[in-house]
Amino acid sequence: MVTSSAPGKVYLFGEHAVVYGEPAVPCAIERRARVTATEREDGLRVHADDLKLDGFTVEYDGDGDTRPDVEAERPLVEAAMGYVNEAVSQVREATGTPEAGFEIQIESDIPLGAGLGSSAAVVVAAIDAATRELGVELTPREIADRAYRVESAVQDGQASRADTFCSAVGGAVRVEGDDCRTLDGIGNLPFVIGFDGGAGDTGALVAGVRRLREEHDFAADTVRAIGDVVREGENVLGTDDYESLGELMNFNHGLLSALGVSSRSLDTMVWAARDAGAVGAKLTGAGGGGCIVALDEGDDALTALKYTPGCEDAFRAELDTEGVRRE
């Protein structure tokens, strides 16, 4: 039995546009998914206690035909099972054991589908735990690469390397196409997270942006403009010029809104944080619902979010410099 964990993340800048080759800067945060893998004779048995799914256990042979019998939103469960299924395929390929069976236990502090990189963290931790269980140790970059293939498969080929690379290596990272780097000397940014209790369907949201971009030149320009915001943000990162960083986060949120991936509750939390004095606030991740990230050195944005109708949870998030690790 091997347990591994991997962190979630927030996007300082660049989600969605990163799918089209623009740069993005996700930052790992100290909220983790922990996955325990135990080899078994055949098939796959998955337990997940805390994915905001009210807990589920499902046993199936991994052929994708058997549906879990659980009381939870079907798309969320299917998405979770899709990720685990594909992760196990990657483990079988990496270890040269096409028939390997596993018992997989998932525990996570990261709400599912809420923009904090829960699926990437589960996939990264699952690949690490299950390969180690079979006596194979992959490097964080190899895990990131295999986890990226999982996300691509589940999201119909529409995924960037950003979430999975960030979760595998930790810290603040920069991803542009296949070029993935860690950013040193960023330090702890004063992140405040607001969570509306909901989730977005990443595949559908990414597909929506793709359609807009194909239909309208101005949508393609909007995606490029997000890339420009990121490039400008990179010049400010590493300094303590939070005002400029915040202004660029606000710009980034406006551009994501124009692409149709914000929501009323995300906008409400963004404005609550800004009104309370946050220097910047934006949605994080695919959008549609879930989380916003604000930058505030004081306590006011956090307090305001706690009292904002529609905000279910608000908390500070510290940068996690460690990526995937064996527990």
Which residues contribute to the annotated binding site? 111-121
- Of residues 62, 285, 290, 323, which one binds ligand MEV by CB under 6 A? 285
Count of residues touching ligand MEV (by CB under 6 A): 12
Q: Does 19 bind ligand MEV (CB under 6 A)?
A: yes
CB 276 within 8 A of CB 301: yes
Considering beta carbons, is residue 2 or 25 the nearer one to ligand MEV?
A: 25
Among 2, 6, 12, 15, binds ligand MEV (CB under 6 A): 15
Element (H, E) at 193: strand 191-195
Angstrom distance (rounded) from CA 154 to CA 16: 16
Q: Is 202 in the site for ligand MEV (CB under 6 A)?
A: yes
Question: Smallest gap, in angstroms, from Cβ of residue 200 to ligand MEV?
Answer: 9
147 lies in the site for ligand MEV, by CB under 6 A: no
**259 is a site residue for ligand MEV (CB under 6 A):** no
Q: What is the amino acid identity at position 255?
A: L
In degrees, to the nearest 5, what angle opens at C-alpha 60 toward C-alphas 57 and 66? 100
Asked whether position 79 contacts ligand MEV by CB under 6 A, the answer is no
How would you list the strands of the sheet with 291-295, edge to edge? 280-283, 291-295, 191-195, 313-317
Q: According to the binding rule CB under 6 A, does residue 112 interact with ligand MEV?
A: no
Q: What DSSP string describes 206-239?
A: HHHHHHHHHH-HHHHHHHHHHHHHHHHHHHHTTS
Binding of ligand MEV by 145 (CB under 6 A) = no
* Position 33, amino acid: A
The answer for residues whose C-beta is within 8 angstroms of residue 15's C-beta and 6 or more apart is 24, 26, 162, 256, 284, 285, 286, 287
Pairwise CA distance, residues 173 & 207, whole Å:
25
The CB-of-15 to ligand MEV minimum distance in angstroms stands at 4
Contact between 16 and ligand MEV (CB under 6 A)? yes
**Binder to ligand MEV among 6, 18, 91, 173 (CB under 6 A)?**
18
* Given 12, 286, 294, 301, the residue binding ligand MEV (CB under 6 A): 286
Q: Which of 10, 162, 314, 324 binds ligand MEV (CB under 6 A)?
A: 162
Phi, psi of 79 (to 5 degrees): -65, -45
Asked if 160 is part of the footprint of ligand MEV (rule: CB under 6 A), the reply reads yes
Residue 81 token pair? 């099972």
Among 121, 166, 206, 305, contact with ligand MEV (rule: CB under 6 A)? 206
The annotation places the binding site for ATP at 111-121
Q: Are 256 and 289 in contact (CB under 8 A)?
A: no
For residues 237 and 232, what is the distance between their CA atoms, to the nearest angstrom? 9
Q: Which residue is nearest to ligand MEV (CB)?
A: 160
144 binds ligand MEV (CB under 6 A): no
Choosing from 159, 173, 212, 255, the residue that interacts with ligand MEV (CB under 6 A) is 159
Q: Which stretch binds ligand MEV (CB under 6 A): 121-129, 158-166, 230-238, 315-323?
A: 158-166
Task: Enumerate the active-site residues.
Answer: 163
Query: CA-based angle 194:199:200, to the nearest 5?
Result: 115
Is residue 107 a contact point for ligand MEV (CB under 6 A)? no
Q: Which stretch binds ligand MEV (CB under 6 A): 30-38, 83-91, 135-143, 160-168?
A: 160-168
Instruction: Give pairs for 94-97: CB < 8 Å, separation 24+.
Output: 94/127, 94/131, 94/136, 94/138, 94/142, 94/146, 95/131, 95/134, 95/135, 95/136, 97/134
**Which residues of the chain form contacts with ligand MEV (CB under 6 A)?**
15-16, 18-19, 159-160, 162-163, 202, 206, 285-286
